[in-house]
Structure 1
Amino acid sequence: MYEVLVLISSAGSQRAEQLWRLQRSLVLTDPPCYHTPSKHRALHRIKHLFIRGYEAGYRVSRAVAKGLESIPPKLPLDTWILKMGENILQDLPANILSSVLKIESVNLERNSIKSIHPQAFAGAQRLMLLNLQGNRMSKLPVKGFKDLLNLRFLMLGQNQIASLKPNMFIGMRNLSELDMPLNALTALPPNTFKPLIALKVLDLSLNRIQSISPKAFVGLDELLFLNLDNNKLKNIQDGTFGSLIGLEMLVLDNNLLSTLTADTLQGLSNLQELYVRKNEIESLPADVFRHTPKLTHVGLSGNRLHAVDGNMLANMQGLKEVFLHDNPWKCDCSINSLVHYIAQTRANHSPLQRLRCTSPEEFRDRPIHQLKSDELPCRA
């Protein structure tokens, strides 16, 4: 089915402008959330607020059909929003929007789209939102989005996209959010996202990424949120995040990382939240957070840590939450400083009942916050 929305009032346009201003200033008021990074959720809320607010003040004229194989050739000239989700479109030919120059939102989710002509979106310079998630695309056309000068949101999740090329996103100088979860990416080559100079949110979760070029994120000076959750990363080259000078949240959960060093985090001077849960990290150097002085939330649960320097955590004056549970803690004198830190800190290191000793045998399953430093053995 599809819906065509035609503007009959300026109220929707004014509301949209207010929401764009909100989105660009990133006024995020969500409380921290352990399971879902709060700012990412807030950004998506702003996007959905935009969609709902954008449609306020519009009269909806619907032409309902099922099983559409192509976009109707004679859309009303004043069409601003096009909804054709859950049909059976397989290809997007050239100039599909050339007759509706005022179009600003297109939803083609959950079709069967396999290919996009490089000129499919030619002339759609007012388009702000393009939703292509849940299709069957294995590749994107080079320079296929070059006319989308005002696009803010591009949703490409739940496809089969296997590779990215540097010219793929050329022309998209106003894109604010790029969603590409649940694809088949295995690598991020150099300069992949360089044209996206206004990008705030990049979601690459649930792919198969094994390698990232140290220059993959060049140009993303404005990026605030990067999600690499659920990939296949075993290591990240030093300086890979160096160009992300504005990044505030980095999610590396559910990968295969065995190490995390200060050089890995080099350049992230504005980072506030770092999540590296459920990896294979066995130890952390004492200076690991040397380049991230603004950290407030750190997630390290579900790794292979035996000990952590509590003094390192104590020196992070802005730290509000640190998650250390579900690690195989070795409760000997090597964690003296950690025991002292947990006893003294005001930071939330929940859930304390899951922060337990694994060894030695006499301390197995003891909650660490109940230990005292003078009872911990020192053994060769």
Structure 2
Amino acid sequence: MLRGALLYALLGLVRAQPFPCPAACVCPFRDAAQCSRGSVASIPALHLPTNLTHLVLYRLSPGVLHSHSFRGMTVLQRMILSDSPIASIAPGTFDDLRKLKTLRLSRDGLTQLPRALLDPLVLLEQLYLDLNQLQSLHQDAFGKLVNLRELFLNNNRLTSLPEKLFARLGNLRSLDLSRNGLTHLPAGLFGALLQLERLVLHSNQLLSLEAGQFQRLHLLRGLYLHGNRLGAVPPGAFHQLGSLRNLTLGRNQLESLPAGLFLHTRSLTCLGLSDNPLQGLPDVLFGDVPDLQELWLNGTQLRTLPAAVFRGLRGLQLLALHAGRLAELPAGLLRGLDRLRLLRLDHNQLRVLPRALLLDLSSLEELRLQHNQLRALPGDAFRALPRLQEVLLGHNPWHCDCDLWPFLAWLRQHPHLVGRTEPPRCQSPALRAGLELGALSDLDAASCSPDTPSPETLTPSAAAPATSARTPAPTSAPTPAPTSAPTPVPTSAPTPAPTSAPSPSTPPAAATSTPAPGLNPSEPWGWAQRVATGESQGQSLFFALYFLLWVSQALITGIIVFAMVKVGCLFRKLLRERALI
């Protein structure tokens, strides 16, 4: 115990001594130096202390890295040499750095790596060779780095890799090969990386993947393949990746996907398939993937989707289907997605939204429907969305006729839910073109009532009669009878109004001879429209009742006349008798 106390006191005295910081450097803490003066070739002239544990060299002028540049630095653990053009590295440069754990040679313009340069660094855990100009690597370049955990080779000019390049890196956790020019990956390239958790391959020129390319990566959690030129994915390519959580396949040239491609990726939380020329999806694409939270399927050529393609994704919170060519959606497409919070259907070609599409989305908070071809929505389209916070409806050709009023009633009750940056506007009819849906008043809604003609469609000449004459009730004949005397009603059906243009005094809902598509007969104006166009199923009954009324009126009139004649005769007889007396 006494020996330990003496050793501790001795170390304290050593650390109390002033640290000799080089003149051209800054020493933020003991045993660390940051230097940015001089050139790569003049590093020995900096007279760096050999007991440094952390060394940062940056923005040095170009030069050759000599074999004695770091001589004697046997305790150095972290070294960064970046933003300093290195013409070449002499063999043996890192021979004394046997305790080095982190080496960063970023943005140094390296074009090649000597074969045995890194062999002495057996304790190395992190190696950064990114943002250089490496065009090739020897298959033994990393042969001695058995403790390496992170390797960054991104942003170079690599076009191919030796199959045995990573054969000794059994402890590697993260490998970044992105932003190179790789066109092909050898079949056994990743076979020894049993501990790999993150594999970054995006932004290359990969044309295909070998079958079984990733079959031994059982611990892989992130696989990034977006931004390549993949035309197909082998069936079962991801079946062995039971731990995979993030997978990106966007911005490739995939036109189809194999059936059951994600059948065994139960741990997925984020899947990117966007910006591919997908023409269709198989009926069975996913298995039970309860943890999937984000699915990106935007920017495809899909015209529709299989009705059950999203079954098993009960944890989905974000579904991106925007910027595509979707023209129709199955009514049960989103069934079971009760945790969905954001649904993007904008920038498509949707003309109709199925009434049952949104029924199960009890957690939906944001719905984007802008930039489609929607002309109308049912009045209860969003009634099953109790948590809805915003719905975007702009840039749709809304047809503001009577079919839209039930939805407008909902809109007037929830004006705060509609995005105001690009508000929805009427495109037709012409009298309402350009008006915001939220600005249509109750007077507009009243124009669809069976008792009130539209004030917007009345001309000055027609307005006066409209105020003096009583509009026929829904139970009256299509052509009102004059008030002076009853006129026999013709037994033939009334001639429907021309469909080319409504008459000035005809409400918009009754302007055509056939009901508008989607008309709800239970709505107050729906029944009136059928009567006005001669389509009521009770016309014959109406005419029969009218005839009976007319006959009853004539009979009553005859009885009254007969009674008055009798009374007159009795009165004359009474007068004669009085005259005789």
Q: TM-score normalised to the size of structure 1?
A: 0.76
Mark the CA change 1:298 to 1:127 in structure 2 (over 3 Å): closer, same or farther. same
Match of 1:209 in 2: 254
Asked whether the equivalents of residues 224 and 247 of structure 1 are also in contact (C-alpha less than 8 Å), the reply is yes
User: What amino acid is aligned across from residue 422 of structure 2 in structure 1?
Assistant: Q
After alignment, is 303-312 or 170-179 more displaced? 303-312
Asked whether the equivalents of residues 349 and 373 of structure 2 are also in contact (C-alpha less than 8 Å), the reply is yes
2:126 aligned counterpart, secondary structure: strand
Alignment deviations for residues 118-138 of structure 1 (CA, whole Å, 9 cap, x no partner): 221012122111111111111
Shift in Å at residue 356 of structure 1? 4.0
Alignment of 1:247 with 2:292, yes or no, is yes
Aligned positions, number:
328
Tell me which of the two structures has the higher relative contact order, counting C-alpha pairs closer than 8 angstroms and 6 or more residues apart: 1
Shift in Å at residue 189 of structure 1? 2.6
Alignment deviations for residues 151-186 of structure 1 (CA, whole Å, 9 cap, x no partner): 222111110111123310122111111111210012
Asked whether the equivalents of residues 250 and 273 of structure 2 are also in contact (C-alpha less than 8 Å), the reply is yes
User: What amino acid is aligned across from residue 241 of structure 1 in structure 2?
Assistant: F
Match of 1:69 in 2: 112
Distance 1:244 1:198 in 2: 12
Asked whether the equivalents of residues 250 and 274 of structure 1 are also in contact (C-alpha less than 8 Å), the reply is yes
Match of 1:228 in 2: 273
1:1-380 correspondence to structure 2 within 5 Å? 59-60=78-79, 62=81, 65=86, 66-70=109-113, 72-75=115-118, 76-309=121-354, 312-313=357-358, 315-330=360-375, 331-332=398-399, 339=408, 342=411, 350=419, 353-359=422-428, 361-370=430-439, 374=445, 379=516
Distance 1:287 1:202 in 2: 26
User: What amino acid is aligned across from residue 230 of structure 2 in structure 1?
Assistant: L
User: What amino acid is aligned across from residue 60 of structure 1 in structure 2?
Assistant: M
Match of 1:42 in 2: none
Distance 1:371 1:213 in 2: 50
Distance 1:307 1:80 in 2: 57
Larger Rg: 2
Mark the CA change 1:353 to 1:284 in structure 2 (over 3 Å): closer, same or farther. same
Distance 1:174 1:379 in 2: 59
Mark the CA change 1:355 to 1:235 in structure 2 (over 3 Å): closer, same or farther. farther
Structure 2 stretches of 5 or more lacking a match?
A: 1-39, 41-51, 55-75, 87-108, 376-397, 449-507, 510-514, 518-581
User: What amino acid is aligned across from residue 130 of structure 1 in structure 2?
Assistant: L
Distance 1:176 1:347 in 2: 41
Shift in Å at residue 96 of structure 1? 3.0
Asked whether the equivalents of residues 199 and 223 of structure 2 are also in contact (C-alpha less than 8 Å), the reply is yes
Asked whether the equivalents of residues 321 and 347 of structure 1 are also in contact (C-alpha less than 8 Å), the reply is no
Structure 1 stretches of 5 or more lacking a match?
A: 2-6, 10-56
Shift in Å at residue 342 of structure 1? 4.9
Distance 1:294 1:358 in 2: 35
Distance 2:417 2:306 in 1: 23
Mark the CA change 1:277 to 1:260 in structure 2 (over 3 Å): closer, same or farther. same
Shift in Å at residue 68 of structure 1? 2.5
Asked whether the equivalents of residues 68 and 89 of structure 1 are also in contact (C-alpha less than 8 Å), the reply is yes
Match of 2:29 in 1: none
Shift in Å at residue 261 of structure 1? 4.2
Distance 1:154 1:344 in 2: 51
Mark the CA change 1:301 to 1:360 in structure 2 (over 3 Å): closer, same or farther. farther
Identity %: 26
Mark the CA change 1:253 to 1:379 in structure 2 (over 3 Å): closer, same or farther. same
Shift in Å at residue 351 of structure 1? 5.5
Alignment deviations for residues 45-82 of structure 1 (CA, whole Å, 9 cap, x no partner): xxxxxxxxxxxx96225486233323652322222111
After alignment, is 69-78 or 306-315 more displaced? 306-315
Asked whether the equivalents of residues 111 and 135 of structure 2 are also in contact (C-alpha less than 8 Å), the reply is no
User: What amino acid is aligned across from residue 353 of structure 1 in structure 2?
Assistant: E
Q: TM-score normalised to the size of structure 2?
A: 0.51
User: What amino acid is aligned across from residue 379 of structure 1 in structure 2?
Assistant: A
Mark the CA change 1:368 to 1:128 in structure 2 (over 3 Å): closer, same or farther. farther
After alignment, is 174-183 or 279-288 more displaced? 279-288
Mark the CA change 1:78 to 1:290 in structure 2 (over 3 Å): closer, same or farther. same
User: What amino acid is aligned across from residue 156 of structure 1 in structure 2?
Assistant: L
Asked whether the equivalents of residues 240 and 264 of structure 1 are also in contact (C-alpha less than 8 Å), the reply is yes
Shift in Å at residue 369 of structure 1? 4.5
Distance 1:343 1:311 in 2: 22
Shift in Å at residue 363 of structure 1? 4.8
User: What amino acid is aligned across from residue 68 of structure 1 in structure 2?
Assistant: T
Alignment deviations for residues 306-347 of structure 1 (CA, whole Å, 9 cap, x no partner): 232466436521111111111122135666675556555699
Distance 1:349 1:143 in 2: 54
After alignment, is 164-173 or 298-307 more displaced? 164-173
Asked whether the equivalents of residues 328 and 358 of structure 1 are also in contact (C-alpha less than 8 Å), the reply is no
Asked whether the equivalents of residues 103 and 124 of structure 1 are also in contact (C-alpha less than 8 Å), the reply is yes
User: What amino acid is aligned across from residue 119 of structure 1 in structure 2?
Assistant: K
